[in-house]
Amino acid sequence: MEHLVSMKDLTVEEIMLILDRAAIFKRLGFRELPGTYTVCNLFFEPSTRTKTSFEMAERKIGAQIIPFETSFSSTLKGETLYDTIRTLEAIGLDALVIRHPSDGFYEELIDRTNVAIINAGDGSGQHPTQSLLDLFTIQEEFGSFEGLKVLIAGDISHSRVARSNAEALQKLGAEVTFLCPPEWAGEFESVDNWDEVIETSDVVMLLRVQHERHNTEMAYTKAAYHEQYGLTVERAGRMKSEAIIMHPAPVNRDVEIADCLIESPQSRIFKQVENGVYIRAAVLELILKGRK
């Protein structure tokens, strides 16, 4: 694997290889890379989890991190993303972890550069390492994906997590249902009533309402959205006892999920964050060791 930009590109075998490697890191500890590799993290959109856990993973496997501050880079003087990437390639970077607001920013890059590109989230497009850590968390819980009922509820049309997870989970044999206001469904078929799905779902994955990507005034107050589309305490009480709650975070408390459910026994939200380090280490190792 030269780059990781979309879950569409991964075969089931490649997904399982990454999950297996992450499980080994988790069980036996991280392994240092066999050579010297340099990595830069370029975040053109805010991030807490993804940026920090990539950096933690890079340190754990012994990659050298070259700092890059987007707010002090020559992109502010108008330098294009392509020229920025070619410059970092010329300096000698092996891999670039990039988050960017443009959907598919990587399309103009991957065939024109020799540096490995790892997509850390592109606009409303894809978030492959979030999807892989979600899969890892689900696999830890249920052992396999075949026949699992996964409900993804929230701001679907703006969600790169929904897009990546729909691709991956369906490829692995899970049944994915989307729940959202009809006008937020994007290209997906969706339901808008919890009664149809809450008692049968194995995984209830909430998505953040992405206020920053809505061009128009929200049609719902926070309380109205929570009441109609959020995971309320009453709805959580109707979940199967072995079902789990997930959320990629950051969370709007009491909007897509009730505040008190975030650290409830069925929640795996902080487990997802923890698993992100193992997954990102596995992805980096696979890509860096494969460098020619």
Q: Is 144 in the site for ligand CP (CB under 6 A)?
A: no
Q: What is the C-alpha separation between 208 and 256, in angstroms, rounded?
A: 6
Q: How far is the CB of 255 from ligand CP (least distance, A)?
A: 16
Q: Is 249 in the site for ligand CP (CB under 6 A)?
A: yes
Task: Describe the chain by its helix, strand, coil percentages, rounded to 5.
Answer: 45, 15, 40
Q: What is the C-alpha separation between 247 and 260, in angstroms, rounded?
A: 14
Stretch that binds ligand CP, among 12-20, 166-174, 220-228, 244-252 (CB under 6 A): 244-252
Q: Is 292 annotated as a binding residue?
A: no
Residues numbered 109 to 128 that lie near ligand CP (CB under 6 A) are 121
Q: Is 249 annotated as a binding residue?
A: yes
Nearer to ligand CP, 54 or 194 (CB): 54
Q: Nearest Cα to 179, choosing from 193, 199, 198, 163?
A: 193
Q: How many residues bind ligand CP (CB under 6 A)?
A: 9
One residue of 250, 259, 290, 291 binding ligand CP per CB under 6 A: 250
In Å, what is the CA distance from 165 to each residue of 8, 132, 152, 185? Answer: 10, 8, 9, 15
Q: What DSSP state is assigned to residue 292?
A: -
Paired strand residues for 151: 177, 204
Q: Are 204 and 244 in contact (CB under 8 A)?
A: yes
At 95, phi and psi to the nearest 5? -145, 145
Nearer to ligand CP, 99 or 235 (CB): 99
- Locate tokens 């009491």: which residue? 254
Q: Which two structure tokens, joined as six digits, stand for 132? A: 């892989």
Q: How far is the CB of 48 from ligand CP (least distance, A)?
A: 4
Sort 286 into a burial class: Cβ within 10 Å, 0-12 / 13-18 / 19+.
middle
One residue of 47, 75, 113, 210 binding ligand CP per CB under 6 A: 47
Q: Is 127 annotated as a binding residue?
A: yes
Q: Is 139 in the site for ligand CP (CB under 6 A)?
A: no
At 155, phi and psi to the nearest 5? -85, 70
- Residues forming the active site: 49-50, 77, 99, 127
One residue of 203, 248, 267, 285 binding ligand CP per CB under 6 A: 248
Q: Is 253 in the site for ligand CP (CB under 6 A)?
A: no
Q: Is 238 annotated as a binding residue?
A: no
Q: What DSSP state is assigned to residue 259?
A: G
Q: Is 31 annotated as a binding residue?
A: no
| Interaxial angle between packed helices 128-142 and 269-289, expressed in degrees from 0 to 180 and rounded to the nearest 10 | 120
Stretch that binds ligand CP, among 23-31, 45-53, 191-199, 230-238 (CB under 6 A): 45-53
Annotated binding site for carbamoyl phosphate: 49-50, 99, 127, 130, 249-250
Give residues in contact with ligand CP (CB under 6 A). Answer: 47-50, 121, 130, 248-250
Annotated binding site: 49-50, 77, 99, 127, 130, 160, 208, 249-250
Annotated binding site for L-aspartate: 77, 160, 208
